[in-house]
């Protein structure tokens, strides 16, 4: 009887060795089982389970000498691909930043350039900085010769306007103010908005040409058949006479060019949005007299 019980215990232990799942052993449930069975499954699961890195254990060094040539080449190719990707990302980020920067500068370039030229007279642009219009600058220098100021004009081909100076030339002393007029007429049957730009020739004289009032860089709306006079109020800086570089300059040309103002939808701007130069003299349309 005792031999049969011992055989039963041996079989039960043997069956437990193969029937108890590893998850049960890991969770500690096998503590109720015989100690020998628990030890066997604990050793087995430790061998089969993935190794866990201890914080105190040192990471073994990678011995590249044990790799084959094909494996080394694959590692090199992988590293080259990663370096190329990183380099491409850096280049793309750099050019994107440059594109945004240049886009912003392109929008700001025109007003910045105009402000610079208006302050310094650079590029043949007359000075319009009102801080330079002090009382001592507006005293005519009677001891100097008069300077001939000639007026010229030009109109864009797509602008159906007539734009001409009302006087061909005037003679002024340095420090003497002068008033001139241009006449513009819309020959089309539609309301059109134009804008004028200007320049001084020779360019080196622009730093002494000061404009107190003008119609440049302002939207000018002319109705169909409308005609207006546009004033230009200016003076030559008295320092013109003492500059050796201006000694041989007797003639200065003020040139205006009118362009058509373009809009995204092609429609005309309302009267509130359009600006007529202050002091402009509105000439009545001759066709209105017939009515």
What are 64-99's pLDDT values in tens digits?
667 777 877 887 888 888 888 888 888 988 888 888
Mean pLDDT for 9-22 is: 47
25 with 138, same domain: the answer is no
Report pTM: 0.50
Residue with tokens 């010769």: 145
> Does residue 99 belong to any structural domain of this protein?
no
Core vs surface per residue 197-228: b (16+ CB within 10 A) or e:
ebbbeeeebbbbbbbbebbbeebbbbbeebbb
- For the ranges 123-132, 205-214, 245-254, which has the lowest average pLDDT? 123-132
Q: Are residues 134 and 43 in the same domain?
A: no
Query: pLDDT band at 139, cuts 50/70/90?
Result: confident
Pair (38, 175) in one structural domain: no
The verdict on residue 65 lying in a domain is no
**Average per-residue pLDDT for the chain:** 72
The confidence band for 229, taking pLDDT boundaries of 50, 70 and 90, is very high
Please check the confidence at residue 271 and state whether its pLDDT lies above 50: no
In a shared domain, residues 278 and 151: yes
β-pair type (209-213, 227-236):
antiparallel
191-to-43, 161, 164, 223 alpha-carbon distances in Å: 97, 11, 19, 4
Mean pLDDT of 40-66: 59
Enclosing domain of residue 36: 2-48
The listed range with the strongest mean pLDDT (12-21, 173-182, 209-218) is 173-182
Q: Are 13 and 35 in contact (CB under 8 A)?
A: no
Q: Tell me: do 155 and 251 sit in the same domain.
A: yes
Omega cis (within 30) before 202? yes
The label of the residue with tokens 């055989």 reads 7
Supply the pLDDT for residue 51: 60
Which of 26-40, 105-119, 210-224 comes out lowest in average pLDDT?
26-40
Q: Is the pLDDT of residue 53 over 50?
A: yes
**Residue 25 sits in the same domain as residue 169:** no
How many structural domains are present in the chain? 2
Q: What is the CATH classification number for the domain harbouring 235?
A: 2.60.370.10
């Amino acid at each position: 009887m005792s031999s049969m019980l011992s055989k039963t215990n041996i079989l039960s232990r043997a069956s437990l060795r193969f029937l108890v799942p590893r998850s049960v052993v890991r969770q500690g449930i096998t503590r109720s089982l015989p100690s020998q069975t628990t030890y066997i499954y604990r050793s087995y699961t430790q061998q089969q389970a993935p190794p866990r890195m201890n914080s105190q254990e040192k990471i073994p060094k990678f011995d590249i000498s044990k790799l084959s040539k094909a494996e080394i080449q694959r590692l090199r190719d992988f590293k080259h691909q990663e370096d190329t990707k990183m380099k491409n990302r850096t280049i793309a980020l750099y050019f994107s930043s440059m594109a945004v920067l240049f886009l912003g500068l392109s929008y700001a370039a025109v007003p910045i350039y105009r402000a610079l030229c208006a302050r310094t007279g650079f590029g043949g642009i007359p000075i319009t900085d009102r801080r330079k219009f002090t009382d001592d600058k507006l005293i005519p220098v009677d001891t100097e010769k008069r300077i001939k100021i000639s007026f010229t004009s030009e109109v864009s081909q797509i602008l159906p306007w007539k734009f001409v100076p009302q006087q061909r030339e005037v003679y002024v002393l340095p420090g003497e103010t002068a008033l001139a007029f241009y006449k513009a007429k819309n020959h089309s049957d539609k309301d059109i908005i134009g804008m004028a730009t200007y320049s001084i020739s020779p360019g080196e004289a622009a730093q002494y040409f000061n404009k107190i009032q003008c119609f440049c860089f302002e939207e000018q709306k002319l109705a169909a058949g409308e005609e207006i006079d546009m004033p230009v109020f200016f003076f030559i800086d008295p320092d013109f006479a003492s500059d050796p570089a201006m000694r041989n300059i007797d003639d200065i040309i003020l040139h205006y060019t009118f362009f058509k103002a373009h809009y995204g939808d092609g429609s005309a701007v309302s009267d509130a949005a359009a600006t007529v130069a202050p002091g402009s003299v509105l000439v009545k349309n001759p066709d209105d007299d017939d009515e």
